Amino acid sequence: MENQFQSSTKLLSKRPRFSGYVYISAFALTFLYITIKYLNSAKQTHVESKNDSFDTLPADMDYHLDGLQVPFESNQATFSSGISRLTWNVMDEPWQPVTAILYDRNDVDDDALNLHLNSLLQLQYFKEIIVYQPLRLSFPTIRSNLIISHAQQQTSSGTVLVLKTKMGSVVRVLKSQGQPIDEMKTLSRYTLCSSLATYDTCFFQDVDSALAEVPLDALYLNYMRYPQLVHAIVPPEHYLDSQRWRFFQYNGNQNLHTGYSDVSYGLFVAKWRCQHFLTQLGKSGLGKDRLDVADIYFTIWTNQYPWVLVYSSPSSSNSSEDSKHYHKSMLTDPHFTGKTRRVIYDAIRRLQRALAADTSNSPKDYIDRYVAMPPMHQRDTRAVGRHSTLLITSMLPTMFSLQGVPWLWQDHFPFDSQVYKNPKDWDQLFVDQLVGTLDPDTALGTELLEASNLWVSSGYHLAVDDDPTTAWKTSAKKGDYFGIMTMGNGVPRTVSLLTDDNFDAGLLELSAYHQGQWVNLVKIEP
C-alpha cells in the first residue's frame, strides 16, 4: 500500500520551512491535515499511524459531514492508481441521485459521446443522463456493455432515444427535430434541468473526448457537503479566471457576492437554481444573442461564489496535442479580450442594478441576498487528484505573493461599475496585486497569460498529479496547513511527503488528532 498511496499523495512546497499537525479520520472520508510550522525540503518523508480510524473532528473544523453516514466502498483500489467509483446501498439511497445533462455539438462523430457515457455510467449517482444533440438529425450509435435495452419513444416535442442500463439508470438522447440549428445553445442545460430532469440535482458537461475523464467523484462529494452552492471543476488554465472574476460590495440588502466559473468541464447544481435562473432571464429582457453565453449569466446571477476545484488536465500533462488544443483554444477564454469578458462584465452590472432596484425585505427577483456557507475563507478544498480519489485542502494562498493582501484580494476592493468602467480596469487591478511575478512593462493581456502559465506550472493540482517531477510551489509560514482527503473508509498507514531538497527531519513535527486529543506520530524518517 505504501507505494500505491505514495504515488497519489505528493505534497510539495518550495518554501524552506514547515511542520505541524496531521489529522486522519475515516468517518466516510479520510482527512489528513498538515499545519505548517517549519520546512526545509526533503527527498522523502514517511509518516505512519497505528490507528485505523478516528470518529472525531476537531471542534474548529467546519466540515459538513452530517449527510455522509454511509461509507464508501472499502477496497485496495481506494489508494491505487485505478479510477475509484463511489458506491452505496441502493435500498437506502442515502446519496443524492443526479441527472447528468451532456451538451453535444458534434454533428457526426459518436466517439466522444461514447467515451462520456461509458465513464458516467460507472458512477452510480448518475441515475439519469440526458444527451442534447441539437446538430444531429439521426440518433448516435451507442456502444456500451452496460446498456441492456434501447427504444425510441414519441413525445410531445419529438422522438427520444431511451436507453436502460444494468444499474437501473436511464439515458435519454434528444436530437434536432427539424433543421440542425442550435437555437437554445448553452441555455439548453438550464431548460432541460428545469423541465425534464427527474432528480433535484443536475450535472452539466460538454461532450468532448478531452473532457471524458475529468475526475468527478471528488467534485460530487464536495457538492454533497454543501449542496446550496454551485460546484465546478476546471483545468489549471481556467482556475485563475474563477479567482479574478469574483466580486463583492456590501451595501445593506444590496450585498453583492458572486463570481464566474466555466461550466463546460463539469458542474453540480441544485435543480431549483436552474428554475430560478430561467425566471431571472424572463425578468431581465436579455436578448437571444446572449443564449450562447447563458453559462456566464447563470454563475454570476446566483449571487454566490461558486466553489471551484482545479484538476490536473491533459493540457498540463504529457497528453496529446489535440487535448492541449481543446483546453487552450476551443472554449471561450476570459484570458483574452473578447466577448466572454464583456459578457461577464455585463452580467455583474445587471446583477448590481437588480439588487439596487429591490431593497425590500422580501425581494421578488429570485436573487440571493445572503452569503451561502461556508464563506470563502473556510473553503480550503482546492484540487482533485488525477484519479478522483484525493482532494487537496489548504488555507495557503496561490503561488502569488501579494502586497500584504490576503489571497482573497477582492475582499479589499469592492466592485463598483462607476469605478471599474470596463473589464480591462478590473483585470488591471488583479495584475497590480501580483508582486514579483510579472514584468511591469508587459501588456495587460500578456501579463494575464503569463500569470496563468505560472499557475499551471506551480499550482495546487501538482501536489496530487501522480508526477514526481512536478511540485506545488507555495509560500508556507508558521500556522498554515495543507493536507488531503482520501475517498474510502480505509486509512493509509503511510503518508509520503515528497519535496525537492534535503531537510533536517528533526525540524518536522507532526501529530494526529485521536479520541479528543493530539498525539505525536510514531515515526518520521527522512
Residue type, 178: G
3-state helix, strand, coil in the chain (%, to 5): 30, 20, 50
- Read off the pLDDT of each residue in 27-35 and give the average, rounded to a whole number: 32
Is residue 459 domain-resident? no
Residues 315, 176: one domain?
Answer: yes
The radius of gyration computed from the CA coordinates of the chain, to the nearest angstrom, equals 23
Query: For the range 250-253, what are the long-range contacts, defined as Cβ-Cβ under 8 Å and sequence gap of 24 or more?
Result: 250/414, 252/359, 253/355, 253/359, 253/361, 253/363, 253/369
What's the chain's average pLDDT?
Answer: 71
Retrieve residue 402's grid coordinates.
501579494
Q: Measured between alpha carbons, how far is residue 436 from residues 73, 401, 451, 498 in Å?
A: 46, 8, 11, 26
Residues 125, 69: one domain?
Answer: no
Q: Which residue has the higher pLDDT, 106 or 52?
A: 106
Q: Highest-confidence range of 143-147, 173-177, 318-322, by mean pLDDT?
A: 143-147
Is residue 438 domain-resident? no
Residues 361, 317: one domain?
Answer: yes
pLDDT at 141: 92
- Read off the pLDDT of each residue in 341-348 and give the average, rounded to a whole number: 90
Is residue 435 domain-resident? no
Among 70-74, 124-128, 208-212, 473-477, the least confident range = 70-74
Q: Which of 390, 406, 435 is the last residue of a domain?
A: 390
Is residue 194 domain-resident? yes
> Comparing C-alpha atoms, which of 139, 131, 138, 133 is closest to residue 182?
133
pLDDT at 391: 74
Does position 57 have pLDDT exceeding 80, yes or no?
no
pLDDT band at 442 (very low <50, low <70, confident <90, very high): low
> Which residues neighbour 134 within 8 Å (Cβ) at sequence distance 6 or greater?
105, 175, 176, 180, 181, 182, 183, 184, 188
- Read off the pLDDT of each residue in 396-422 and give the average, rounded to a whole number: 61
Residues 475, 341: one domain?
Answer: no
Is residue 280 domain-resident? yes
Residues 42, 132: one domain?
Answer: no
Residues 164, 126: one domain?
Answer: yes
Residues 56, 167: one domain?
Answer: no
Is residue 10 domain-resident? yes
Centre a 10 Å sphere on the Cβ of residue 364 and count the other Cβ atoms it contains. Answer: 9
Residues 154, 62: one domain?
Answer: no
CATH number of the domain within which 217 lies:
3.90.550
Residues 66, 111: one domain?
Answer: no
Q: What is the pLDDT of residues 290-317, one digit of tens each?
A: 888 899 999 999 999 999 999 876 544 4
Is residue 434 domain-resident? no
Main-chain phi, psi angles of 520, to 5 degrees: -70, 140
Q: C-alpha 45: how far from its chain's center?
A: 29
Residues 204, 291: one domain?
Answer: yes
Predicted structure pTM score: 0.77
Q: How many domains does the chain have?
A: 2
pLDDT at 445: 53
CA angle centred on 36, ends 31 and 40, rounded to 5°:
125
pLDDT band at 107 (very low <50, low <70, confident <90, very high): confident
Residues 293, 381: one domain?
Answer: yes
* Domain that residue 266 falls in: 98-390
Q: Which of 348, 367, 390 is the last residue of a domain?
A: 390
Q: What is the pLDDT of residues 112-130, one digit of tens each?
A: 999 999 999 999 899 999 9
3-state secondary structure of 284: helix
Q: What is the pLDDT of residues 360-376, one digit of tens each?
A: 888 888 999 888 988 88
Is residue 242 domain-resident? yes
Q: Which of 336, 361, 390 is the last residue of a domain?
A: 390
Judging by DSSP bridges, how do beta strands 170-175 and 126-133 pair with one another? parallel
Residues 236, 205: one domain?
Answer: yes
Among 186-190, 227-231, 233-237, the least confident range = 233-237
Which H/E stretch holds residue 113?
Answer: helix 111-120
Does position 203 have pLDDT exceeding 90, yes or no?
yes
